[in-house]
A and B are shown apart, each in its own frame.
Chain A
């Protein structure tokens, strides 16, 4: 039995995975910046789901589902339709390729992102380790 994606329980499970991962800790040791991961509605989803993660020097300090997007003002906002996130989490889509082709949209300081692409890859590896139930 997996954890439903997207949900508060899922992003908290990812936080635990991130904080267990020596690969992420090493790759993101210089990273400072929090994120909104926006899952755009598609198929059975009828409204967007926004997941928040505060990533700081190789650890996740806080993670939860956001009901009001104005509640925080994170440094980065990544958004994509549900099916794209599903492919990324399943390890079927390279997240960097998805960013380059615009399937995942990213807003925020690009200098930091360009210097930390390995951290992004390790974060996605953590995603693939979360036992996940997809709604479709």
Chain B
């Protein structure tokens, strides 16, 4: 038995107008200050007001939301008592909104105790709309939440199936002016969702369909979206949909070791999530070569490349990802992120521990030992092809 969960998805040009169809009294918009300054939040507010709702904007979310931020948001939302929560932003904003929603409906719950094993009883007070402003996180279409423990410099994955947004509004206009570096970082996050979701041990035919098509779109359109930005609205629109598809794919199949390593590195050395995960992706594909070759061959076929038999498929796919990283001017090694070798090696035991304990490791097709995780990290530091 397994599930395939998605929100109601409203997509395409002018999808934002769907906000005017919502019925309710009060909408609590969760976002960050930068997006508010850029004017994207104002559009959302206007649509909600036209729907007859009173609107309160909470714009305190910062990258890598913490448990403390979630508790602050929960205090503010309780005072406003909305019937709709509207998250406008990237993964940090949407993840924070999911956790704030839980504490709004379940005051007193430890956010780190949000788990798929315990019913939360959400939707008695409010429902959640997610409006992504980047093309990568997929959080608008998953129930996962990533919170950061700043004291331990550690990212922690929590979430309940009830956390799935009710509605995802995937309007490409919201990501049209994304800067190139953010386009590359978030685009690589989406690609990692698609490729890792497709080989995850929890994969299923529904998630396969989403991951395969998302991979196809990302390889085709991410270089164009990075190079031309708003001058290529077709590429932007395809990337925005691809990110949500990849989110649906991995949200129903989980991800793998590139995410575990990326979470650990990102939290310890303050590397953006998509950049960190994308950098590890080729090494993890090579590490998985012996156990997931046929799946990698399917992915190669989907992106229009020759798909050889056996482990060579993994190495060809790894090369395709490395070429994409080069096109996007993204780091292909940990060293290229500007992390001094001494600092990296000093942190290695913690990175290994965090990566092993990350839930994403459980669904990687090849279960790594601590020694293998350490070797993977060292290979990724130098840019060595994985040979073990």
The answer to whether B2 and A114 touch across the interface, beta carbons within 8 angstroms, is no
Chain A positions within 8 Å of B116 at CB level: 99-100
List A5-62 residues whose CB lies under 8 Å from chain B.
Answer: 26-27
A residues adjacent to B (C-beta < 8 A): 26-27, 94, 96-97, 99-103, 106, 109-111, 113-118, 121
In the complex, A23 Cα to B114 Cα: how many Å?
Answer: 27
> From B367, which residue of chain A is reached at the shortest CB distance?
A121
Q: Which residue of chain A is the closest to B359 with respect to CB atoms?
A: A117
Task: Specify the main secondary structure of chain A where it touches its partner.
Answer: helix
Residues of B within 8 A of A113 (CB): 115, 117
Q: In the complex, A91→B380 CA distance in Å?
A: 33
Residues of B within 8 A of A106 (CB): 117-118
With CB as the reference atom, state the residue of chain B lying closest to A121.
B362
Given A110-B114, A111-B110, A117-B357, 18 new contacts (CB under 8 A):
A26-B370, A27-B356, A96-B359, A96-B362, A106-B117, A109-B113, A110-B113, A110-B117, A111-B112, A111-B113, A113-B117, A114-B112, A114-B156, A114-B158, A117-B359, A117-B362, A118-B356, A121-B362
Pairs across A and B, CB under 8 Å, 21 listed: A26-B370, A94-B201, A96-B362, A97-B2, A99-B117, A100-B116, A101-B1, A101-B3, A110-B114, A110-B115, A110-B117, A111-B112, A113-B115, A113-B117, A114-B112, A115-B156, A115-B357, A118-B356, A118-B357, A118-B362, A121-B362
B269 within 8 A of A: no
Chain B residues near A96 (CB-CB < 8 A): 359, 362
Name the interface size band of chain B. 20 to 34
State the B residues within 8 Å of A (CB).
Answer: 1-3, 110, 112-118, 156-158, 161, 201-202, 356-357, 359, 361-362, 370
- Give the distance in Å from the alpha carbon of A96 to the alpha carbon of B116 in the complex: 10
Output the least CB separation between B146 and chain A (Å).
12
Are A94 and B202 in contact, with the CB atoms below 8 A?
yes
Q: How far is the CA of A114 from the CA of B362 in the complex (A)?
A: 12
The 9 nearest A-B residue pairs measured at CB: A110-B113, A110-B115, A100-B116, A111-B113, A111-B112, A106-B117, A99-B117, A101-B1, A117-B359
A27 vs B353: C-alpha distance in the bound complex, in angstroms?
A: 9
Which residue on chain A has the smallest CB distance to residue B109?
A110
